[in-house]
Structure formats: structure tokens, C-alpha cells
Structure 1
Amino acid sequence: MSVPVTAPSLYRNLKGVFAVHKHAGVTCSTLGNIILQKIVSDLGTYEQRPQKPMVKFVPRPGENNLLLDGKRRSKSSTIAERNLAMFNYVPANVDDLFDHPSVQGPRYSYEDFELTFGNMLDVLSSGIQLFGLQTTGKEMINSLSRLRFPRSYYLYGKFGLATTKFHNDAKVTERTTWDHISETKITRLLCMIQGSYRNAFIKSSNLDLDSQLAYEMASKGLLRPQTPTGPMIMDIKLHKLNPPDFVIDITCITESGQFLRKLIHEIGLELRSTAICTKVHCYRNAIFFDEDDSTFLIRELKADKLAEVMGKNNSNLISLFKEKRAVYFTASSALDEESNFPFQSNESVG
């Protein structure tokens, strides 16, 4: 996509899905307001649309009488003189001063944009936060939610402490030893956790596991719970261990920040100790990764770059949605079980 050179053309291209790095301690709504402020500010630096024209009657060139000079006519002037003076005006298009930016203010404001949140990271979490801009972005965010793409996190923990809210900023309630904890014990425990969730994950998909449909969906990683469930862990492993500090790599769906912090607490209890979560960082969300160039740092976000990246993201997401549908409906036609499919063909992709 060529870089727009005017504010109206740039505004028309500001639609779709994009990812921004969120820092811990910042709410999603605050981050959204900062993004809109930057977009509106950047649009104001580009060439704006011209003032709206208006039709105004102006004197004919070279004419000169009391009425044309703008002076009030005397009461003694005859009707004929007044009618003659009216014919000395011609219509012309002139700039409407009421539409001047000094009167109307900036051409673009917050009300010109519709911002939709994807995954809602809580205030204590950091990492990838998805946003949808305008109607196209809203529809794509909704499609991503229906497809229930997994998200991956790094959970930073510390053994030997317990707090009231499972994180390091809360009140400490207990101190324990952690010398007996080893990498082998942690790995064994995480395998047990993953196994228990995997069984529940498969059962909640409401599919016959011996069917061709289940095979097709499992081979493409598309099995998803179809009954209302809580958080589901798809993969969990030890990423780093430097006692008492450790890092867990976890992939899950329908999770929350509080669930992840409580999970660290429960891991500590299972290992005959205690643990607190010092940091929750989302490094992958669907096709968006922490280290991608398309994931913005808030200080580097510019309207022209945002429009360019959203164009690429929209193309990638549309291709992804088509691929997912192809798997569903290919298997469906073979088994004539379309009614059991989780996502229908009327899903909007913008």
C-alpha cells in the first residue's frame, strides 16, 4: 500500500486489526485513549481537506454603485433603481468561513474512530494487546474471538513467599523454604497439569474422537471446547529456573490474569512450598508475536505506519479465516455433520 499523502486518504486506510505492547500498570482503556490521541494528532499534521464551498452573490467586475459598494441605500431610491442594482450581482463559489479550522477546530477527533479491544490484559499484565479500528477491525476481532485462538504467556514466579492476591505487590502472608525444589519435580508437576487439562479439553469439544472430522480438526490444531468452560491450558512447560526465581511458558484459552497468578500459587503449594507471580507477559496472540515488527511500541506508533501494518494484518487474517473454514467444511462434507461445527459460514471477516 502506498503511503497516503493527505489526511482524508490516510483516514480511509485506518481500519483493521493491530497489536500494541502494553506495559504493566497501564489499563487497556488508558492505552486505547493514548492510541486515539496519537492518531488524531498525526492526522492533523497532514494536508487537510479544503474548506467547503458556498454560493455567494458578488458584484460584477467593474460595477460601482451604492449597493455594490456595500453602503445602505437611501429610502428615496426608486424600485427601478433597486431592481437594476440586483442585476449587477452574479453567483460565485467562495470558501465557507464557517468551515474554517479556526472555527470548527481540528478536522478529526476521537468521535471519528471506533476502537475495539481484543484480549483484555488486566492492569498487572504486560505484552500483546490487540485492537480493532473502525467496523472492519471490530468484525475481525469478533471473528478471532469466535475462533478462540490460543494465547501464550511467560509467567515469572518466585518460590518461598505467599501473598493475599498471589502477586508481589500484595501483603506477604507466609514465608517457606524452597531448597528441596528441583527442575525434575517442576517438570513432572507441569506434565500432570497439562495432562489433566488436555483430557478435559478433548471431552468438551463434543466430537467423536474416532471420526474423520475429529482427526482433521486435531491435525490442524482446531479442536476447541464447545460447552461453556473456564480457562483451558493447552501447553505448559518450564522455561527457565534460577531458584528461587522461575519462568513458566504457558499456552491457554479463555484465561485471565488472576487465573494465571493463582496457578503459580498452586504450583508452589503442590511442590510443598509457596510461590508468588511477579510478572505476567503475553508474548503471542493468534498470529501476532511479541518480537514482530508489526507489533507497535506505543512511543513509536504513527498513523501512516499504522495504516500500512493494518493493511498487511487484514490480508493475513482473511487468509487465515478462509483456511480455517476450509478445514471445517471439507471435513463436514465428508461426514455430513455440518450442524456439529462450532463456526458457521456467515462469520464476518471485514
Structure 2
Amino acid sequence: MAYKAIADAPVVWNLLNGVVCLYKSAGQSCKATKHSFFIKLASELNSMKVRPPYTYVDIDGPTTKQMDVIVRPSYADNPLVCGPRYSADDFKSFVTTPLGFNTSGVMILGVNKGTKKAFVIREQSPLRTYRLKCALGYETDNLFATGKVIGEVRYKHVKQHAMEKHLSIVQASHQRIAYESNGVDPASQEAYELAVRGLVRPRDSKIPIIYGAKLISFNPPDFTIELSCINEYEDYLFAQVHTLGHRLNSTATCTAIQCVHHSFFKLEDALLMKHWTLEEVVANIANNNRLLRKQGRLSDNLNRYAAKG
């Protein structure tokens, strides 16, 4: 059945079960993004054909004569009395990995029955890739461009090859940490066998690990780096930029941060706010379901989780 042929809100509501890939704007929390998203969906649902008010049986007339049995609509269930049929609070949701307030980009949201799928995705400790725009020569009190400038340092001596070298050192040192946290020597046969099985994750899920660090552009004082990592958080990424600046005998501050890849979800899969419509969301859920079925071990875990109830 084509979506545009559906006029009944309850039918569309039943299609809103799955994982949605949204684009979160910077300067907004995940909670606020979710609320805005569900308000738009609820508003569109309420503009469709919703269920009629419940009815009640009214027995009317004098008790000394035959009384009339009349079925009337309940005013207590009328939208003018109890409010719209759908509201943002009606949706169940679960964010796989909340993005920071200053971070924009890919945000994975489980909706209604899709919260189970979102939970399983989070449990897999998915790899995420961030693009960080940075500036050399100054630092702020919160390590981000919105903070108060607390120091300015020269930066013209910083060269592209030196930055690339330090990023490769960061990547190598973090990969060593991933092996050592599993009690494995990175140069051993055991480490090779561990790597063959896939991404080597630390045993402690609270340890941030950077698996990829590369320079995307270099135009001093501005530069852009790309970090692929797990168990990260916004302030940790800001601190990496700050540390990089000091290693180059200067200082650096992050000016913008964007999540461009979350597990197998890419930036082009994310719905912009202008696309937060029922038609686009239903199509996005269907596409994401197809992606999930292709993900081998993740798909198996989803099936096992569903079997548990």
C-alpha cells in the first residue's frame, strides 16, 4: 500500500516502529531534538483522519414510561476537551549514543518498538566518525570556540607533515591500548587472531579508543581532522584537539564538530529537519530495516533480543 493512499492516522502510527536516522543540529541537545521531531510527527498525525470519540449509552425518558436507549459520543473523549489524539509524549524513544550539545550530524533514534533495535546497536559499541574543524593559535576555557579566549600562541611554525605525524602517533597509541586492555601483546599471534575477528574493542566500555585519525584539510590557522572512535564523548574530542596543539608547540581549539558516520549509518542517510514528515520518516524506517538485516552479527543479536521478548 502506498503511503499517500493512507488517510487513517492509526494505520500510519503502526508504521512508526523502527530506527530513524536524523540529522541533529549543533547548539541543541538530543532531548530537544527528539521533542521537536515528535511534535512535528504528532502534528501531522492529528491532521489526518483520527479515531472518532468514544460513545456511551444514555437511557433517556421518564421512568414511568418506556425509556429510550440512545448511543451518544462522549464529550469527555472529544479532542476539544481532552486535547489532540496524538502528542509528543505518546512516542517511546531511545538514542543509541547521544551527541553532545555542540555536535551536529548523524543521530540514531529508536522509535516505539524500534527502541529494542536501538538498544542492541548501542550494545555493539559502534564505531563513529567525527569531522572536527579547528583553529591554531588560541585556546578557550571550554576548549571550544564558544568559550572565553584565555591564551594566544604563535602557530606559523606548524607544518602539515608534523600534524599528520602526530595524528598517526595518536592512532597507533590508541590501537595499542585496545589490545593491552584485552591483555594481549600487539605484536603477538594472539593479537593477529583477535584482529581477524573484527574491530578490537577494549574490555572496559568506558575507555575511549581512537581507531583512525587523519588530516582532511590544512590552511593555517584553520585545519580539519577526522577521528574514528568508540566510547568517546564531546569533551574528550575537544581535549584531543587541545592536546594536538600543544604537541605541535602551539595551541588549538575546536570550532565545529560533526558526526559523519555512525556504525553503518552515513550522513546522507540522516533526515534534515525539513524532511521530518511522516512520509519521509516511514521511508527512512523501512530503509534502515533493510540495512539492519544485512549486518550479520548485529542482525543475529537483534533476532535473539526479539526472541527474549
Deviation readout 1:127-161 (Å, 9 max, x if unpaired): 11221111x22211211111111100111111111
Aligned partner (choices 264, 277, 280) of residue 254 of structure 2: 277
Aligned to 1:210: 189
Deviation readout 1:227-281 (Å, 9 max, x if unpaired): 3442100100001111110000110001011111111111111111111111111
- Displacement after TM superposition at 1:308 (Å): 2.5
Aligned partner (choices 16, 19, 22) of residue 21 of structure 2: 19
Aligned to 1:236: 213
Aligned partner (choices 117, 139, 143) of residue 162 of structure 1: 139
Aligned partner (choices 25, 37, 40) of residue 39 of structure 2: 37
Ranges of 4+ aligned residues in structure 1 off by more than 4 Å = 89-94, 206-209, 343-346
> Is the contact made by 2:100 and 2:234 (CA closer than 8 Å) also made in structure 1?
yes
Q: Distance in 1 between matches of 2:256 and 2:77?
A: 51
Per the alignment, do residues 307 and 182 of structure 1 end up closer, same or farther by CA in structure 2, a change over 3 Å counting?
A: same
Q: State the secondary structure of the residue aligned to 1:13.
A: coil
- Displacement after TM superposition at 1:57 (Å): 4.7
Aligned partner (choices 105, 118, 121) of residue 144 of structure 1: 121
Q: Distance in 2 between matches of 1:101 and 1:171?
A: 50
Q: Distance in 2 between matches of 1:214 and 1:94?
A: 74
Per the alignment, do residues 164 and 101 of structure 1 end up closer, same or farther by CA in structure 2, a change over 3 Å counting?
A: closer
In percent, how many aligned pairs have the same letter?
26
Instruction: For 2:140, give the aligned amino acid.
Output: T
Gaps of 5+ in 2: none
Aligned to 1:286: 263
Aligned to 1:125: 103
Please tell me whether residue 104 in structure 1 is matched to residue 106 in structure 2. no
Gaps of 5+ in 1: 59-66, 74-81, 327-342
> Is the contact made by 1:10 and 1:304 (CA closer than 8 Å) also made in structure 2?
no
After TM superposition, the score normalised by the length of structure 1 is 0.78
Please tell me whether residue 49 in structure 1 is matched to residue 28 in structure 2. no
Aligned to 1:2: 2
After TM superposition, the score normalised by the length of structure 2 is 0.88
Q: Distance in 2 between matches of 1:102 and 1:163?
A: 52
Q: Distance in 1 between matches of 2:184 and 2:294?
A: 26
> Is the contact made by 1:207 and 1:214 (CA closer than 8 Å) also made in structure 2?
no
How do 1:326-337 residues align onto structure 2 when only pairs under 5 Å count?
none
Instruction: For 2:110, give the aligned amino acid.
Output: G
Instruction: For 1:160, give the aligned amino acid.
Output: G
> Is the contact made by 1:8 and 1:48 (CA closer than 8 Å) also made in structure 2?
yes
- Displacement after TM superposition at 1:347 (Å): 3.8
Aligned to 2:93: 115
Structure number, greater radius of gyration: 1
Q: Distance in 2 between matches of 1:139 and 1:105?
A: 30
